[in-house]
Structure 1
């Protein structure tokens, strides 16, 4: 497919938005800050429209480049990347932006979150607990650019966490309590967090006392997930939001998160630590939804799996935490994975 065909679709779309009594060429000339002749040549496909010019037009008319250039049909996709995070201030801003994005969905009927949980979903760590603060520590330890956290222990990190960050975290957690959530877990979903605890304990950056507390926090998360799974509802939800947990043994999880509303779907797929690529293209979102539905058909809904199968799944996670705790207390090598 040539670019001229895509440009023609763009011009036709824009012409439909501009009143007939106004000159379309003058309009484009003003928006792009180019001469009348240059605008005329672009509109009549005698000159190529640059990507920067297309972006300028899209921003001015508040339209989607994905739609205008039909990139979904060309196996080409425009995505939005979230900004990198390197500090506690940046982390708080990240949570604030997330909260503002989710808040409008609270009073919208038919909203659903679908989460492919390679790691414990962030919903369960948005609390004022040590595991929440430890996640902050692990993320920023990895993303640190100036070396200020290279030798910092978790205990030294704790007093640096501003109260406003914890407050924002709790507020974000509250927004999730209003939304229906479907999650895919497997036996390895908890492993990443266990490895993070053991890694910094072994390296001397996490004390035995705090490592033991993190294990207790993990037990509480497992208990909460199990209770929600049985009830098929979010705990403390003010509108009885639904919670469905599928055990998926066939596929590896990806931490991809999809938001579905009656009018639109979008999803976030990981790029780096805490950095995501946002995809809103309808065709691509449709493909992702088909993928998730296929995954459902090859997974086990734990609410209806039976008490035995459900118990085996959650007890296996508890046993992993207990093994980590025992090895920390005995200060011996860990062989969990």
Structure 2
């Protein structure tokens, strides 16, 4: 019963005119005949094979079991990050998880942005390097005494981060922001400046980099854009949940620590999350169509926050009595 339903689910994920036997053989790296025995139910799939296929085709195994209790679902949990090498692996695994979904036609992503979306702050610019430094300061004990100026990310880390960031470009994306979405980044710049981990000069450079990022996002807000929509919600706090939808399935990413997340493709759970996020959209302003005044007011309030921090840093320089 289970194997039959599982194979039907895999078949539904495949493009038209794609052989299920070939798909099973490719995913399991087995011969055509061995795959045929499994698809014809003459041979049973092992537990390991089911896991491999579920990961390969992003299928939630729990959804295939008959149950009347919808209070429990199974989720995939990313590994906790302890060092730079594991952070690089995190970026690679996230890329591998998202790539098959986002490559599908008509895929879309809905991002509830409590903080600046991860995809904007992973790369090789100074703001991305700072965010990486902050994550490792919080996760890696060896970073306790390391200053930002002493930190130089590895080539592999930058490469994996840029690959993940590239997935977000030219994608059908909807983001929900609040004025507070940039607060954590501002707090991090201020905190590490006060702690002597970044100089005043670098702190001011980071503020300017943040303003450039905000400007880049503002330039994407276009009434005629069908690929990027930015909503402003001033009633609810966002939670950094990410819902990825394709014509065949949905996947929900729920953060549970600094970077780690739970992932589920449970259809009922994803539909519930979509309903909740759509309710947020109904209570939000779509800045793309709100007009120039609304757009300028929103972004100017964020610029003002950054400028206030710059003034605070500069005042510290002026009042330095030593």
1:313 maps to which residue? 298
- The one of 149, 154, 157 aligned to 1:155: 149
Deviations 1:144-189 (A, max 9, x none): 1xx31111111112x3x11232222222222211311100001110
> How does 1:189-204 map onto structure 2 within 5 Å?
189-204=181-196
Within 2, Cα distance between the matches of 1:87 and 1:320?
32
Contact conserved, 1:126 with 1:170, CA < 8 A, in 2? yes
The structure 2 residue matched to 1:208, chosen from 191, 200, 209, is 200
**Pairwise CA distance, 1:283:** 0.5
Offset at 1:261? Answer: 0.4
Change (3 A) 1:100 1:56: closer
1:86 to 68, 72, 82: 82
* Coordinate RMSD, CA, aligned: 2.6
**Partner SS for 1:251:** coil
Output the CA distance in 1 between the equivalents of 2:248 and 2:3: 26
How does 1:124-273 map onto structure 2 within 5 Å?
Answer: 124-144=120-140, 147-157=141-151, 159=152, 161-230=153-222, 233=225, 242-273=227-258
CA distance in 2, matches of 1:214, 1:154: 11
d(CA) in 2 for partners of 1:199, 1:221: 20
Q: Deviations over 1:54-75 (max 9, x none)?
A: x668538857432233568431
TM-score after normalising by structure 2: 0.80
Structure 1 unmatched runs, 5+? 1-8, 32-54, 234-240, 333-337
- How many Å separate the matches in 2 of 1:72 and 1:133? 48
Q: 1:127: Cα distance to partner?
A: 2.9
Per-residue deviation, 1:11: 8.5
Unaligned runs of 5+ residues in structure 2 are 9-37, 318-322
- Residues 232 and 243 of structure 1 are in contact (CA less than 8 Å); yes or no, is this contact kept in structure 2? no
Call closer, same or farther: CA 1:79–1:330 in 2, change over 3 Å. Answer: same
